[in-house]
Amino acid sequence: MRKWILLGLLIASFPSVSSAAAPSSFESKLSEQLTAIKDSSQIIVVEGKQTSYQATLRTYEKRGSKWIQTYKTAAVIGKNGLSSSKKEGDGRTPSGLFPIGEGFGFAQKPARINMRYTQTNHYHYWVDDPGSPDYNKWVYYRGNPDKRWKSYERMNHFLYKYAVVIKYNEDPIMKGKGSAIFLHRWRNPSSPTAGCVALNERQLLYVMRWIMPSKQPRIVIGDQASILADLRSSTK
């Protein structure tokens, strides 16, 4: 009898694998929608809300004919939530489906990173001055930035130890529609961004190592309804 009691206690101490792995209703719909994607084998899904900076990031990869969720973690987005019509300085993260660009950071390129990676320095800028022809462009400039632009970001910023470019508002670039949208490390889980997507550094490095440029990675950002709609419209 004592053996059976001990065995019961041991089994009860472990969570059910099936219940822990059971997908949510949204995840089930997401997996179904992803099956229609033909031009990419890796998708990053950032699920947020219109008025909150708290978000969830998932990674999906196509293996054979099936899309598999490979990772899920907490994320933060813009301090004012999401926007489908982003404007410069509104504190919102743009919703939509975007290509993934290159990696960068003021730290040396981490091991096992497959994407192109630039180690930034004092002369790397991303221009967020809507009146400049350099708007929403990465510029290497050795002169005085204050004489060239009214607003800019230094690419060796504290939060950009490691980061990935999200190719938002690039084709074509529309003045005032938002700039410098990256996936980068967060200050902490209670600190929103100015419009980017941010993760804990360890999780960020995991995602950066997971990204394979040959698989045409993309990122979809939004609430549940807009994510499914954007994926659906991309296959038409």
* Positions marked active-site: 184, 196
**Residue partners of 168: CB distance under 8 A and separation at least 6:** 86, 94, 96, 98, 178, 181
Using N-to-C axis directions, what is the helix angle for 224-234 and 25-34, rounded to 10°? 10
Decide: residue 142, CB within 10 A, 0-12 exposed, 13-18 middle, 19+ buried: exposed
**Strand 152-154 to strand 93-94: parallel, antiparallel, or no bridges (unpaired)?**
unpaired
List residues bridging with 154 in a β-sheet.
125
Q: How far apart are CA 127 and CA 26, in angstroms?
A: 37
The two tokens of residue 176 are 């005032």
